[in-house]
Amino acid sequence: MTVSPVNAIAQTLAHIRQTLPDTVTLIAVTKTVSVEKMRVAYAAGVRDFGESRLQETIDKQALLQDLPDITWHLIGHLQRNKAAKALEHFQWIHSVDSLTLAQRLNSLADRLPLKPSVCLQVKLMPDPSKFGWAGAELLADLPALNDCSNLNIVGLMTIPPYGLAPAVTQSVFNQTRDLSDQIRQQQWSNIQMRHLSMGMSDDYPLAIESGATMIRLGRVLFGDRN
Ligand SMILES: *Cc1c(COP(=O)(O)O)cnc(C)c1O
């Protein structure tokens, strides 16, 4: 029997779910993926969708209004001038990558009013193509982040540099976990470290070994992006 692409999405999801611990939430990353394929994932039980671009998300949300129980996760870099719109369209922002962005989101959330869930994006290996805090920079910014009381800061997010050997990727994930442990031990009143958003199609088993609670899967579910 040939497996149609639509069946393939449901079958891959079922297969991956079998291997996931209960503590891990699968976010289906649907940048460039059609709303038809998103409906297939939804029918297979996916409720968490990750998108990188605001306008693409707004367009898709208009077409998926009949699916009201989706949680929308922003996983791409957010420009300050789009922060207000992002708050209106995403319940989670994984890509809070600077103090100025956090403070902007915080004051906008106060006015709306909203309390978005956010992850702080870190890069623990130098990577000019990625945004995010280095470890020491993040530690220095924690007092100011703790003052962002309209943000529900729930964890860290990371994207390892592309093309690393698996052992090196594993060490990046372990360092991210260690940093979140260190922050948790500091017992900030308004910074929780309940989540580690890490792991993509090529490396999610490694991320889970290091304690990921949210994995962000695109190509493994929907095929290569154009
Ligand atoms: C595109 C993207 C993903 C998904 O990557 P795949 O390799 O397709 O699984 C996950 N996280 C972020 C931040 C992304 O931009």
Q: Is the CB of 216 under 6 A from ligand 1?
A: yes
Distance 208 CA to ligand 1 centre (A): 16
User: What is the distance between the alpha carbons of residues 42 and 59, in angstroms, rounded to a whole number?
Assistant: 17
pLDDT tens, 110-145?
A: 999 999 999 999 999 999 999 999 999 999 999 999
Distance 218 CA to ligand 1 centre (A): 6
Q: Is the CB of 122 under 6 A from ligand 1?
A: no
The tokens for 185 are 């031990």
Full-model pTM: 0.96
- Which residues, other chains included, contact 86 with Cβ-Cβ below 8 Å and sequence gap of 6+? 54, 74, 78, 93, 105
- Give the CATH number of the domain where residue 130 resides: 3.20.20.10
pLDDT tens, 71-83?
A: 999 999 999 999 9
pLDDT tens, 16-28?
A: 999 999 999 999 9
Q: Is the CB of 17 under 6 A from ligand 1?
A: no
The tokens for 36 are 């038809």
The parent domain of residue 218 ranges over 5-222
- Total domains in the chain come to 1
pLDDT tens, 168-200?
A: 999 999 999 999 999 999 999 999 999 999 999
Amino acid 4: pLDDT: 57
